[in-house]
Structure 1
């Protein structure tokens, strides 16, 4: 019997963007130590979550991701802008920073990716993509106080970044939280 891996497709943030974002949210981290803050090396934009996948199917998943990437226009430019939380009302579970820029192009490319994954038999979330980077999660137990974070999120030029590929990640659940390992990079095909 083959082992299963928890997989998802996403976008990797450049190091300069991660550094600028880490500096920008430092005051919020200090103000809300009760939140489980995502380490900066784990920041990404999720495009398509696959869940538990038989490890024997990874090559098939990569090939399908490559087919979808071949149809994407490259590169596109995104920028980190705005922030929010899920759910928008009630006790928040997730705090995030959103993506702006060429989001319509990204969503079109991500739809192609989702169609390829559906073609392989995966159950894919069909809700509209809300590209974002998860910054923190509320504790599972206890009081969930909303983080009041009103300071401007100033990342300077590092807020903008080019996207020319998507990445297949393996999520390994550990006691300190998930660790993401890159399994494949599939470059966009058309420029």
Structure 2
């Protein structure tokens, strides 16, 4: 279960990333169309569970507020995974994640119950390359993207290819938030 930045916010980050791409070509970069913010990682879900998720999440999402977020800065996990940070309405983001996790659990679907660490995964290093991800994070440290509204909740599926290439993602379903924007203050954070 995830939120996806709008195309113009992803394009803004991609433009900022151009010199970093050139400096770190050995990283396995995620495709821009695959960028998303995970709220609950479900792992492998049997296809017969999807209809109950559709039902549980459809009405719930329609009654929830969208959140205003932004991409900024960068960091890494274990020198192997490069990410962009998330700013904006983090309280609202945590509340959304909590609600999503409750709905998923009510459908009998297990998920990795880890604390939410909002980020957007950009790239992964190869096992023999401990320096590229920290180097790339330094190159992104000054990035501050414009605010945007997460308008939809996405059920995202992973397609693991053969070999060392990037993981591919696809939308299985998406639901629009229907109660406006939480604490809407226009363009300001």
> What is the CA-CA distance between 1:180 and the residue it aligns to?
1.4
Say whether 1:93 aligns with 2:83. Answer: no
Say whether 1:124 aligns with 2:115. Answer: no
State the secondary structure of the residue aligned to 2:109.
coil
Question: TM-score by structure 1 length?
Answer: 0.83
Kept in 2: contact 1:69–1:109 (CA 8 A): no
Kept in 1: contact 2:29–2:166 (CA 8 A): no
State the secondary structure of the residue aligned to 2:128.
coil
- Give structure 1 stretches of 5+ with no counterpart: 1-8
- Give structure 2 stretches of 5+ with no counterpart: 181-189
Equivalents in 1 of 2:85, 2:57: separation in Å?
Answer: 24
Equivalents in 2 of 1:184, 1:47: separation in Å?
Answer: 15
Which of 166, 170, 180 is the aligned partner of 1:181?
Answer: 170
Cα gap change, 1:67/1:93 in structure 2, threshold over 3 Å: closer, same or farther?
A: farther
Which of 135, 143, 153 is the aligned partner of 2:143?
Answer: 153
Which of 10, 18, 31 is the aligned partner of 2:10?
Answer: 18
Question: TM-score by structure 2 length?
Answer: 0.84
> What is the CA-CA distance between 1:71 and the residue it aligns to?
4.4
Counterpart position of 2:72? 81
Two-structure CA RMSD over aligned residues (Å): 1.8
Equivalents in 2 of 1:160, 1:61: separation in Å?
Answer: 29
Equivalents in 1 of 2:9, 2:83: separation in Å?
Answer: 15
Q: How many residues are matched?
A: 174
